[in-house]
Structure formats: structure tokens, C-alpha cells
Amino acid sequence: MEISALVFNLSMLGFVSGSMITLGLGLTIAQIIAPFKNIRIVLRALIANFILVPLFALGIVEWLPVSEGVRTGVILVSLGGGAPFIPMIVATAKGHVGAAVGLMVLLLIVTIIFMPIAAPLMLPGVSVSSWDIAKSLLTIILIPLLLALFIRARFSAIAKRIQPFTAIFTKISVVLLIITVLYVYTKTIIANSSVLPIVFLFFLGAMIIGYFCGGKKSNVRFIFSVGTGLRNPPVAILVASQNFPMQPIATIIPLLIAMVGTLILFSFASIIAKKGAR
């Protein structure tokens, strides 16, 4: 079990940091700055992701009979935005990848500031160190991203050469993470299969919030739906595994949301791409 826990932690860290490095090696400063130019879009994104979705999550766990671990998992995943696979889904739909990357970076930066403050407030009675959460997010997410951005800006040729390898490393980490989770937590997942309706409800609700906050332009609505619906499961998994080790289901909830969300959105994105081609 100790070896499995070690593999889980390493694969999870590899996935999160690897995703940031891979994205950073392919980003330009212009792509990051782009979403900040439209103040209305920025405000709508912030309201949707860091006010409406957390309130929606709080309503779910308050009105539905859920365990403490489920409550923790749903709340944690509601507090984090900027999933690393947002650009991949938007690219599948032949959408504006640059805007998707910019939105992801915006949400990720706010998440690093917002989650350490909001988590202790929304999880009363639970001892959570704001600094420990912030430190984890900074060292595992922000620093790798900034390092990759620096390499991309100063040594673009090197960035292009190493990006395929970091992408492969990230994919391997994802596979190991899923296998390890299934091996270690299969019994927990089966025993808590009743949480699947809550997972679907949360994902669909968050996605609908993003859709209506996206405005009138269909491409912006789609990007908002993806970003707001997926949240940032890797960050929630990271915080849950490091701060709530006695609540394994709190780690499972973000993973289930990621699996359900990516399956639905990739299918939806493929349909959009085919319609666009026609």
C-alpha cells in the first residue's frame, strides 16, 4: 500500500507539473495577455468560476445528504479553475485555442490566490493551512509554468524540442495516476457509487453556469462552458491528497468529475468540429 501511495503521489505531481510545463513551452506572452484586454469577459469569467460555481457547490452539499469526504471533494473542486486540458478540448472543436489558453492561465493564477483563502472558510471545523495550500500550488503549478514560459520566450528552439517529451511524460503520468487510483480506491469508488449523480449534477450545473456567463458569441460560450465545467481537478486532487488523507473520497470526487467532464466535452467538441467542417 505504501508503494501504491508513493506512485499515486508521484504520478499526480507529474501530471500537474508536466501539464504546466508542456503548456508553458508552447505559450507566448501575447496569448497570456489576450484575455485580459476585454474587461467584461474577465469579470464574467471570474464571477462564474469563483462566485457562482462555489455557491452552486455549497448548495449541493447543503441540500443533499452527502458524507464529509464528498462535501470536501465537491467544495475543493469548485474553488479551482483553469484545468490544463481546456485548450485540448477547444482545439478538438476547432475553436480559438489562444483564447482558451489565456482563460486557463487567468483562472489558474486566480485559483492560486483564491483557494488558500476560500477553502478554510467553506470547510468550517476543518484544520486547513492556507499557506500549505498556497505553497503546494506555487511550487507544483506556478513555478513550473513560469520556468517553461521563460524557456519558451528566451530559447524557443529548445522549447520546441523538449515539449514533445514533456507531453509524453505527462500522458504517462496520467495513465499511472488512473491505474493507481483504480487499484487503491476501487473498493472506495464502488462503496460510494451513489456519488455519481452528484458528480453529474455538479459538472452539468457548472457547465451551464459557464454557458450563460459566456455572452452572445458562441465561441466564447463554448470556451466558458469547458473552463467552468471542468474546473481544475488536478489542483483539487493535489489539495485533497495533501490536506485530507483521511477522506479518500475527497480525492476521488475531482477525479470522477475530470473523467465524466472530459468524456462529455470531448464528445461534444468532436460533434462541433464535424458540424463546422460540413
Residue type, 108: L
- Residue 137 pLDDT > 80: no
Give yes or no for residue 138 having a pLDDT over 70.
yes
Position 230, amino acid: L
Task: Give the three cell numbers for residue 15.
Answer: 501530471
Q: Reply yes or no on whether the pLDDT at 28 is more than 90.
A: no
pLDDT at 13: 81
- Report pLDDT for 158: 92
What amino acid occupies position 223? I
Digit-coded pLDDT (tens) for 211-264: 999 888 888 888 899 989 989 887 888 788 777 878 878 888 888 888 788 888
pLDDT band at 45 (very low <50, low <70, confident <90, very high): very high
The string of pLDDT tens digits covering residues 88-128 is: 788 788 877 777 878 888 888 888 888 888 888 888 755 56
Domains within the chain, CATH numbers bracketed: 2-269 (1.20.1530.20)
pLDDT at 210: 94
CA dihedral 77, 78, 84, 88 (to 10 degrees): 110
In this prediction, residue 60 carries a pLDDT of 93
Residues sharing a CB contact under 8 Å with residue 103, sequence separation 6 or more, in sequence order:
35, 45, 82, 86, 223, 224, 227
pLDDT above 70 (res 75): yes
Residue 123 confidence (pLDDT) = 83
Structure-block grid coordinates of residue 239? 489539495
Which residue in 44, 15, 13 sits closest to 227, CA to CA?
44
Radius of gyration from C-alpha coordinates of the chain:
18
Instruction: Tell me the residue type at 248.
Output: P
272 vs 59 pLDDT, higher one: 59
Is residue 84 scored above 80 in pLDDT? no
Question: How does DSSP classify residue 94?
Answer: T
Query: 273 burial class (0-12, 13-18, 19+ CB within 10 angstroms)?
Result: middle
More confident residue, 139 or 84: 139
Specify the pTM.
0.79
- Least confident span in 41-45, 89-93, 205-209: 89-93
How does pLDDT run across 146-195, given as a tens digit for each residue? 899 899 988 989 999 999 999 899 888 878 877 887 777 677 667 767 78
**Is 115 or 57 the better-scoring residue by pLDDT?**
57
Distance between CA atoms of residues 21 and 25, nearest Å? 6
Choice between 72 and 19, residue whose per-residue pLDDT is larger: 72
Q: According to the model, what pLDDT value does residue 212 have? A: 94
Cell of 130: 492556507
Is a pLDDT exceeding 90 seen at residue 206? Answer: yes
**CA dihedral of 129, 130, 131, 135, whole degrees rounded to 10:** 110
